[in-house]
Structure 1
Amino acid sequence: MNPELYKPRLAAVVVLVLLIFGLAFVQADPAQAYETATGFEYPLKGGGWFLGQDFGVWNTTRNEYHLAEDLLPYDMRSELPVYAPANGVVRSSGYQSGYGYVLVIEHRLPNNTYVCSVLGHLKSNLVPRGTEVKKGQWVGQIALSPRENGGYSFSHLHFGIRSGAYSTVRDPDGGWRYRGYAPSTSIRALWYKPSEFVREHAAIPGDSSQASLAASPASLTFGQVEVNSYSDLRSYRVTGSHLTGAVTIEAPAGFWISLSPNSGYQRTLTLPPENGAVERTIYVRFVPSSARQYSGSILHRTAGAAERRVQVSGEGIAGHRVPAPLRPYGPSSGVAGGSYTYYTIADPCSAGHPVQYRFDWGDGTYSAWSSSYSAAKKWSTPGTYNIRAQARCAVTHSIVSPWSSVRTVTIEPNSQQRLLYLYYRYLQSRR
């Protein structure tokens, strides 16, 4: 056998192998041509989600820093669609311990520097590695199943942004470069706070993306609130990107809005964009001026984006109230036929008027309304009775308090009833 005959074939194989590996190397090159990321946005669209665990916080369960922001559906079960936060190319797509299914998308910025966005806890039907994506393009879906999301009992999106082009080189401590937690501040410093990064890069010059505006949650309920007083605090979040003008917010009658929880409440607000973006928390109070149902929408408007509404509702109730009186005070036991006196007391009504009282004796009867805070009762039948008291405004009788808490009274048979009982037993024994 002449070895010289195989040299041409061997050379051809070597060339083919080099071509294959060379092409693979070129495909993995971070500098390969793809569209520049001229603006960033959140990977979830519209309302229906909120910020859970924040970036950079120390997780006491893991004893590590969180390297992303967790975005949670309001019901913590919805499998919301996930979108590319900017133009880029998918460098990693698949299952990773702790994440479940996760994407790493590399983005080239206009200044020719790079960042990588990390989207974790997804379903398995995510876009494959090597896919070039546009900002706002569907890339996956949040997973509810623990088998897909890394073992969590609720659905959420891990959204991180790491500096630098994609690399398979591990961190100095041996951890995966795109993990969700790290124990050292030096590694944490390699990551950006996503909400700040999105805000700062939302409207890079040359970006032709359409303006977007979102408000979440989509509704707030305040329940019953006394007329001319204010409700407990509620809040929601407004976010916008690619804005060319201010966002105006207008609340309906009975509702007041502010950028601060403690002051500055008014019916209208104006949010000027910063670098084409807004991200603010809006605080809301319900202040009814009359006793009726209130409902409406807080309107959000800006040029080039669809109007957004947050539904609000509540009920104004009359401010004239009578507080419940104290639990009746008096004997807890007695005998049938005896007279027993019970006492109660209540503050004046909210209008400052005196109040009247009545007692529920626990046997289906009531005392008459009276300005006296005491009443006497005789029970003719032995038994256990739960008595309680109620008050009403002495001027406007329709304004009635809730019932007080109960006092239990045990009534024993009197001597005559005992003799009758013994005589009855005697007759029974003679039969």
Structure 2
Amino acid sequence: MATPDSGAGPGSRGAPLNCTGAGGSSLCSVRAPGGLHELSNRRRRCGRDFRCWLRDSSAWLGVPPRRDRGLRAARKDSGETPAMKPYVCKQCGKGFFRQRDCESHIRTHTGEKPYVCKQCGKAFSSKAGFQIHERNHHAEKPYVCKQCGKSFVRHRDCEIHIWTHTGETPYVCKYCGKAFVRQTDFKRHEWTHTGEKPYVCKYCAKAFSTSHKCQNHERIHTGEKPYACKQCGKLFRTRSLCRTHEWTHTGQKPYVCIQCGKAFSKKSGWQTHKRTHTGEKPYVCKQCGKAYVAHRDYKTHVITHTGEKPYVCNQCGKAFSRQYRCEVHKRTHTGEKPYVCKQCGKAFSTSAVFKYHEQTHTGEKPYVCNHCGKAFSRQYNCQVHKRTHTGEKPYVCKQCGKVFRTSAVCKSHERTHTGEKPYMCRQCGKAFSGRAGWKKHERTHTCD
């Protein structure tokens, strides 16, 4: 059963195999270039079922490989490229080594969910997701937390959960001393110090600290949006974005601050808010040392050093430093206003303006200045106000070096150098460098 050039007996380890049975009969028709097929099929252990990962065909050879790290290493060593993935999605062109993986992926486009839980009726597009659900919700959970009674399928999960009661955090960062319950969270955190980003986008070479972030980023290039809102059908690139959007229909806000009771629909918003109580600023600029509470603010600041604007509008070519601003800008072309006030029905293109509008109904002013106690309905207005106490002026004109408290005033000033006047009156065509002057002028047309 060994290939002619191997000269190995049936019990040998590491001898390469083709998918060929006794007497030269072919058990698999696939032949990959560069010996990839042979590399993937190495003898590991006797007496186990052999499954060819290229053809997804099962055959009893008696000397199968283990489908583990060795197989992944073989693929890597062989110089694997996307062209070597024989199963390709017709809708988005994504390639797969295994037929069942391709079929499972296609269901993200079609919405088909063939795997149905017999106990609760919940349906799944993939067998793996279905099995995880059964294991987590309906399978026997022998490991029980003595403090709260919560039960778990795996002993390790129970052990990690118990640490949330005891306060034990066994994984400690050697750089800053921050401690973690989970090893995965600990590793990701350490990469913020080391700068390690092992996962690289195959389209633009941008690097990421987690494979999940890399996959989500790659969908920006492919345009793939596999997650659909069950209520309105809107498509999303990531599961978390889809789930957060669905909560705009239900009004659900599952993340609650234990200190002040404020609730959030996004986990990231909840985590950032908690730091306003603790004063923690974990995101530090390597160039100037400035620290930030929120990762998005840190990223925006870093770009002020590089001048990078990676997000480009595909309709007019305007570039942006932040993806969110690019998406909001695109709505000026499409007219989309996804945020609708439940009280008056008014629609908005941005979440921030929508929230600000909702507070006009409630009168809520949740953001309070810690210097003078003045309250604000918008966090940004509160931040700008605080700078009147601290004297901070973080925005610098690139041409003359003049500093400003707000980004808007800085940009308006910079236009006095460039002569740019992007705000144009729709009635008379007069152009303005600043938004405030433009709005003031437009009111002269509406006045009696």
Q: Which has the higher contact order (CA 8 A, sep 6+)?
A: 1
Q: Greater CA radius of gyration, 1 or 2?
A: 1
Q: Would the TM-score normalized by the shorter structure come out above 0.5?
A: no
Q: Which has the higher helix share?
A: 2
Q: Which has the higher strand share?
A: 1
Q: TM-score, normalised on structure 2?
A: 0.21
Q: TM-score, normalised on structure 1?
A: 0.22
